[in-house]
Amino acid sequence: MLSLKNKTAVVTGGASGIGKSISLLFAKSGAHVYVVDMSEESGSGVTKEINSTGGQSTFLKCNITSQTEIDTAFKHVLPQFDILVNNAGIAHIGNALNTTESDFDKLYQINVKGAYLTMQAALARMVQQERGVVLNMASIAGMVGLPDRFAYSMSKGAIISMTMSVARDFVKYNIRCNCISPARVHTPFVDGFLAKNYPGQEKEMFEKLSKTQPIGRMGTADEIAQLALYLCSDKAGFITGTNYPIDGGFVTLNT
């Protein structure tokens, strides 16, 4: 069994979807998990769930686009800073013509700047310790052309590039940095998206989206969490500077 015993892990966007699954699994694997999120209700709910079953977890409310808020929140993290999972992010639908400037800026602020600021804060601690693991959540949208994902693809392509740069610059400090690129994953966000954009057609659209993966279904948040656990564990000690597609064959079998 993969273990994070005696490790400290910070998970941004850790209160819902993939982030919640990562938070729960990391805590179950022995880590003290700091759930960073804007939703106090959801974040507190996750930490209560973890702590009620004997795990260790702390909720930190934080807007990751603010360096001041990140610095303040991270002061509450234990001196030992083993793992950062940059999971927080938002999605967007639109091409280069109909994406508004405000939407583009919002994607950049949360998905790109937020990841940069949290990495900067974590790396400062990790360099002093001369060890640490950073895992960023990218997407297949940063690897291949997807319809109507212009700004989102921009942001996830940046995540992949920043991952490689951090891996190169900080390997001398015994710091590993990798990223995960999921295809479609069934989360509450997907259900909300379908309800909003395809009222009355949710079931058929869900099936249509599921079949865009050659494996014939969407991934699950738990499957993404299992890969995250491996990459953040000591078992993956020889892996850095790598982007892992977890996509039901989408990238390889559709190209």
> Is residue 138 located within the same domain as residue 89?
yes
Query: Quick check: is 198 catalytic?
Result: no
> Is residue 189 located within the same domain as residue 202?
yes
Q: Which of 34, 108, 152, 244 is catalytic?
A: 152
> Is residue 21 located within the same domain as residue 59?
yes
Which residue in the block uniquely carries the two structure tokens 């009355």? 200
> Is residue 178 located within the same domain as residue 191?
no
Q: How far is CA 231 from the centre of its chain?
A: 13
Decide: 224 and 22 in contact? Cβ < 8 Å: yes
The H or E element containing residue 220 is strand 219-220
The backbone torsions φ and ψ at residue 77, rounded to the nearest 5 degrees and listed phi first, read -75, 145
How far is Cα 107 from Cα 252, in angstroms, rounded to an integer? 27
Decide: 70 and 47 in contact? Cβ < 8 Å: no
Q: Which residues pair with 60 in a beta bridge?
A: 36
> Is residue 46 located within the same domain as residue 64?
yes
CA angle 162, 167, 70 (to 5 degrees): 60
CA angle 43, 210, 39 (to 5 degrees): 10
* Position 255 confidence tier, pLDDT thresholds 50, 70, 90: low
Domains of the chain: total: 2
> Is residue 200 located within the same domain as residue 153?
no
The backbone torsions φ and ψ at residue 40, rounded to the nearest 5 degrees and listed phi first, read -65, -40
Roughly how many angstroms between the first and final C-alpha of the chain, as a whole number? Answer: 35
Structural domain that includes position 13:
8-183+221-247
Domain assignment present for 175: yes
pLDDT tens column, 206-254: 999 899 899 999 999 999 999 999 999 999 999 999 999 999 999 998 7
* Position 198 confidence tier, pLDDT thresholds 50, 70, 90: confident
> Is residue 65 located within the same domain as residue 103?
yes
pLDDT attached to residue 38: 96
DSSP-based three-state secondary structure for 238:
coil
Domain assignment present for 252: no
